[in-house]
Amino acid sequence: MTYRASAVVIDNGSYTTKAGFASDNLPSLVFNSNYIYDESSQKVIVGDDEMDKYSQNEVSTLLDNGLIYNFDNIVHNWQYVYDNIDNHNGIDSKEFPLVMTEQSWNTMKNKTKTCQIVFEQLEVPLFSLVKNPISQLYRCGKSTGLVIDIGAAVTSVTPIFDGIIQNKCSYHSKFAGDFLNLHVKHYLEGKVTSIDELLPSTFRSSSTTASFKQYYMSTHVLQEFKNLSINYHVSNFQLYDHKYIDVSDQRNFLENLFDPTANKLPNVTIPEPTIDKPSSHGLTNLVFLAIKNLEASLLPNNDSNNVNGVTASSHNRFARFMEIFKQLLSNVLITGGVSLCNGLSDHVINDLKSLTQKYFPNYPFSYNVQLIRPSNSSDTAEIWDKQFGSWLGACNLASMLNDNDENSGSAKIALDNWFITKADYEELGEDIITEKFK
């Protein structure tokens, strides 16, 4: 069975939500994932332009640690998509399959709650949850690789082998784009008399809430300055009142991703990294912990009962370990909005080569380390792939539903393995969710 209607694809990120039809080349909607509740009208306000009109109200978040936690209001985010997806015209959610992305550490409780909302409130006919790193790797035409995703709120390192995430060797931390914003803000505070000078005059009044100022500062001022300073090394930065401030003494803010404890922040305590807490480490160590633990899980134990010290089984396992590692390290995918910063990918690859030479001297892995990119991707398209990789990868999967080639069986494969119908949900409930969305 194939579907004529193109699926709606929604990628809820901590910074922005990307949404559109699976048949589109790029998301038709990219808007901030935060929202405002206006008490006077008792309305939830979603969308950048609309939120700017309610600066006297508090700004609230929907995600924490990359996961949805505010299920009371996430439906407004999704409804905004359906109301605006077709060139800001609405569509009926009952008529279109829906695909959403999720982090690999998402909980079954969250998956169940998500299904409850999309089937019972939005009443979608067909639904799937796609793990971010798999969708990104899938878009590159690979089933095995090391996915390093550096977004706004979370940095994650995910080894994937034959389309299966190696969960015990996957790690994530909060040392990502928002952490860089803290350092950028601290730097800019030393350049002005009041931090409000960085905002448009409209939002400097006492009636503007602190949370709105923080929201606007992060999504506009800090984001703009971070992009300019890292990619273009500007000497002067223009404020909204047309004044310029001298920023020629700025340092490389990216270094904080690799060593979060290197530069202190006032009123912010950064824990010293420890082996038992991977989330306390910077990017380089996070990658090292992933490949070191992968080695521990894949390398065979010596068989003391064998005269030669190595059984045929362990020899085969060692050969398999070598093969997997070579595939992983020759397929390194560095993605996420922060990965667009100049020099970041080169830094990660050089660190990976150094790590393998130092800690895996018996294996020639350092010669295999290389970046991958989506097939047939130009330099311009690579920017979109890094920024919208999860959404684009999910679109590839969702498009299988529209495959009319009976010989390929793509639609049937997708339906059997990755999608839940509304009828199945109503009949089987949580059992079908556990089966399909492991």
> Given this model, what pLDDT does residue 420 score?
95
Contact 128, 427 (CB under 8 A): no
Closest to 438 in 3D by CA, of 164, 254, 197, 199: 164
Q: Domain segments of the chain: what residues?
A: 8-131+390-436, 147-175+271-367, 177-250
Alpha helices in 217-282, H assignment, sequence order: 223-232, 255-258
> Given this model, what pLDDT does residue 307 score?
40
Contact 3, 18 (CB under 8 A): no
Contact 400, 413 (CB under 8 A): yes
In the chain, what percentage of residues exceed pLDDT 90? 72
Distance CA 55, CA 438 (A): 41
Distance CA 369, CA 374 (A): 17
One-letter amino acid at 262 equals A
pLDDT average, residue stretch 249-268: 93
- Joined together, the tokens standing for residue 316 give 């085969």
What sign for the dihedral angle of Cα 62, 157, 254, 232? negative
Indicate if the pLDDT at residue 356 is higher than 50. yes
What sign for the dihedral angle of Cα 29, 33, 39, 43? positive
Closest to 133 in 3D by CA, of 290, 331, 356, 333: 333
CATH, domain 147-175+271-367, list 3.30.420.40, 3.10.20.90, 3.30.70.120, 3.40.640.10:
3.30.420.40
Give residues with Cβ within 8 angstroms of 182, minimum separation 6: 265, 268
Specify the fold of 8-131+390-436: Nucleotidyltransferase; domain 5 (3.30.420)
Parallel/antiparallel/unpaired status of strands 98-102 and 126-131: parallel
Parallel/antiparallel/unpaired status of strands 67-68 and 63-64: antiparallel
- Joined together, the tokens standing for residue 240 give 């909204």
Mean pLDDT score across all residues of the chain: 90
The reply to whether 147-175+271-367 shares the fold of 8-131+390-436 is: yes
pLDDT in tens, 97-141: 999 999 999 999 999 999 999 999 999 999 999 999 999 998 888
Strand intervals (E) in 141-235? 145-150, 155-161, 164-165, 171-173
pLDDT in tens, 60-85: 999 999 999 999 999 999 999 999 99
- Joined together, the tokens standing for residue 233 give 């090394």
Q: Locate tokens 């589109």: which residue? A: 24
- Greatest Cα-to-Cα distance within the chain, rounded to the nearest angstrom: 81
Eight-state DSSP code of residue 199: S
Q: What share of the chain is helix, strand, coil (3-state, %, to 5)?
A: 45, 15, 35
Distance CA 204, CA 329 (A): 49
- Bridge partners of 126, per DSSP, are 421
pTM of this prediction?
A: 0.93
In the chain, what percentage of residues exceed pLDDT 70? 91
Indicate if the pLDDT at residue 310 is higher than 70. no
